[in-house]
Amino acid sequence: MNTAAAEPEIKELGVHDCWKYLRSTSICRIAFSEGDAVENYPVNFVPSNGTLLIRTGEGTKLASLADRKPLAVEVDGMNQYGTIAWSVILKGYAVVVSDEEETQDAMEAGLSPWQPGRKNVLLRITPQEISGRKFVIAAPTHWWPARETAAD
């Protein structure tokens, strides 16, 4: 029996729910402009005091975010049954964290780089805008046309 709604209900998420979902995962995509191009990178992050923290290396394109370029972060996920999906988009700016206490807090929060090498640039992304939504994932029968069976 298919219990998914014919038209999936989309629920706009409030700020508190957006942060709840952001705390439930550690992988996001960061998008920003670099000259005439748009860059988009997957990174790991940790939420901290209403901001997101990421680590990167000196000289990387991500390190250029410290110039207060506008950026967007997207985080997506679904429940354990694969029946409800959610998406959170955060828009804001990044600044380099140089305070020793903040750096120690980030390390204690479990923020560590994925790749080997020196990742000594800690960026704090402060949101100017945050929005999200969640919805029931429609069954494939709702978006694929019915297949006709071949006649014998």
Q: Residue 95: enclosing H or E segment and its boundaries?
A: strand 84-96
pLDDT grade, residue 8 (50/70/90)? low
Residue 151 domain-assigned? no
Distance CA 10, CA 137 (A): 10
In this prediction, residue 5 carries a pLDDT of 46
Share of the chain above pLDDT 70, in %: 83
The answer to whether position 28 is within a domain reads yes
- Residue 123 included in any domain: yes
| 6 found inside a domain | no
Q: Tell me the C-alpha distance between 90 and 92, whole Å.
A: 7
What confidence category does residue 19 fall into, taking pLDDT thresholds of 50, 70 and 90? very high
In a domain, 127, yes or no: yes
**68 inside domain:** yes
For the chain, the straight-line distance linking the first and the last C-alpha, in angstroms and rounded, comes to: 28
Instruction: Give the C-alpha separation, 70 to 128, whole Å.
Output: 10
At 135 the pLDDT is 92
What is the mean pLDDT of the segment spanning 53-78?
84
7 assigned to some structural domain: no
Q: For position 145, what pLDDT does the model report?
A: 66
Q: 69 lies in a domain? A: yes
Dist CA 124 CA 52 (whole Å):
6
- pTM summary value: 0.78
Other CB atoms within a 10 A radius of the CB of residue 54 amount to 24
pLDDT band at 30 (very low <50, low <70, confident <90, very high): very high
CA distance 47 to 148: 50
Q: Across residues 68-81, what is the average pLDDT?
A: 91
pLDDT (0 to 100) of residue 1? 44
Per the structure, the complete domain to which residue 77 belongs is given by 12-134
Cβ of 3: how many Cβ atoms within 10 Å? 7
Examine the pLDDT at 9 and tell me if it is beyond 90: no
Give me the number of domains the chain comprises. Answer: 1
State residue 140's pLDDT score: 67
Q: What is the pLDDT of residues 94-136, one digit of tens each?
A: 988 888 877 777 777 777 766 666 777 888 899 999 999 999 8
Token pair for 17: 């729910």
Question: How would you classify the pairing of strands 37-44 and 51-56?
Answer: unpaired
CATH number at residue 58: 2.30.110.10
Least confident interval from 6-10, 54-58, 88-92, 133-137: 6-10
